Every structure is written in C-alpha cells, then in structure tokens.
Amino acid sequence: MPGPSSSRPVGTVTRGTTNPNRLRRLDRWLVSRAGRVLRSAPDPLVVDLGFGASPVTTVELADRLHRVRPDVEVVGLEIDPGRVRAARAAQRPGLSFARGGFELGGLGARRPVLVRAANVLRQYDEADVPAAWARVVDRLHPGGLLVDATCDELGRRASWVAVGADGPRSLTVSLRLAGTDRPGEVAERLPKALIHRNVPGERVHAWVAALDAAWERSAALRGFGARQRWIATCRALAADGWPLLDGPGRWRLGEVTVAWTAVSPR
C-alpha cells in the first residue's frame, strides 16, 4: 500500500464482480444494527468502499438506508476511474460516486458514520488487513463503524467483521438456510482476517466446528424446517458458552453474531 503521504488512492483495483442483491444479507444487518448510529448522526454520511464494476449494490444500499434516514448520503468509492465514470450515470440526490481507496478520498474533511467494504480485503494479503482497518477507522465519525464483509456470488453465504475505534468487535455469519447442508460451509467465505486461520488450534476453527456440531445436534428439528433447526443451533451455542451478541430475532433470519474475542487469531 502507498504510504500516508501519497496523494493516490490507497489500495489496488479489485476484480469488481458483483450481482444485484448480492449484499442484501449484510444490508439487512446494517439497517438493524447501525440504524441507531445513523439516526443520531449530525452528518449521515455512508461510504460503500470498492463498489466494483457495477454500482448496483451501492444503489441498493442507498435505497435501504433511506428507509432508516431519508437524508442519508451514500458515496461509492472506487480506485478505478473508469468505474467511477460509469457509475455516475446512477447518481441522484443522496447518492454519488468518487475516486478513493482506504484513505476515503473524495470526502474532503467529512467523516462517515458507516463504511461498508464488501469483498474488498479478501483480495489482499492477511498481513495488510490491520493497516487497512486502521486507516479507514481513523477517518470515521466518533462512534462510526467499518464493516468488512465477504460473501459468495449470489449472497447466500456471507460473513462480516464489525470494526470500531476500539478494534474489531464481532463476527457475523449469515446463511440462506434452505439448501444448507451444514453451516460450516461459510468457512469458504470468511473475511480475510480469519479465512486462513480456519485450522486446528485457532479460535475461528473451533467456532466453525461448534456451528456444525450444534447443527447436527439439532437434526431432530429438521422436520420443522431449517429455520427452527438453526434457532435451536444458536441456542445450543449460547448454552455451550459461546458469547453470542444477538438473539432469536436475528437467528430466524439465518444470522448469528459472536464476539470477536471468541474468534480472533491467536
């Protein structure tokens, strides 16, 4: 990555692939969990970092956040100037696009309350992640949040890390339960900070194994549907002492959030 004195956007161009509704699971969580911060912000600025070759998921993010706060401003940032030029055809009041990377260029002195970075850091080395997180968090509004997410091409399996001024806070797993053989399949879509840590001896490996084990123990409920089996799985995880940060209202959506301390790299 370029140093702090560089005027160029910080980072490298990603592959840029995306699909409509690919980030719906993440956006649903953002509306729920970050809605309070967004509603109270004096300057409700949100950044979609690395929106890719198409602005479709940035447009969807703006649509979803406008339901929480109608005057929210969403800015899509990309390093590739060609992508920015093409995306500007989708601009409208409250939605714009600019050139920028982890330094959050194009915002001037403004500080966003929320930064969504989906399928961006997965293309970097694990060693680059802490510096990228720190650079983004340093630009956040007090109380703001960075969400570093990864998902599959259709958004059926996703996971994300919530990062604040105090560092990473949680890991969320979100699955399309219909057709899920085992929740541990999400291991292929863990954020870069964790995906290479899914090996024996690491906390996240124990977490993925616990997900699968609790899912198997809840197999008797499969006749009542995947949702009931998943809720039972999450209850079992909580009973086993995992520090879950959500409850049945989120579990029924195929989500579960665990404290970062339970999965952080050793």
> Which pTM does this prediction carry?
0.94
**Phi, psi of 259, deg, nearest 5:** -60, 145
Tokens of 71: 């005057």
Q: What is the CATH number of domain 1-165?
A: 3.40.50.150
Strand pairing of 95-99 and 114-118? unpaired
Of 32-41, 129-138, 162-171, 244-253, least confident by mean pLDDT is 32-41
Ranges assigned E (strand) in 50-144: 73-78, 95-99, 114-118
pLDDT in tens, 146-205: 999 999 999 999 999 999 999 999 999 999 999 899 999 999 999 999 999 999 999 999
pLDDT digits (tens, 9 = 90+) for 106-154: 899 999 999 999 999 998 999 999 999 999 999 999 999 999 999 999 9
pLDDT for residue 34? 82
* Cβ atoms 104, 117 nearer than 8 A: no
Q: Answer for the pair 116, 144: CB distance below 8 angstroms, yes or no.
A: no
pLDDT for the residue numbered 66: 95
CA distances from 243 to 128, 188, 199, 238 (A): 28, 23, 21, 7
Residue 143, sorted as left (phi over 0), alpha (psi -120 to 50) or beta, turns out to be left
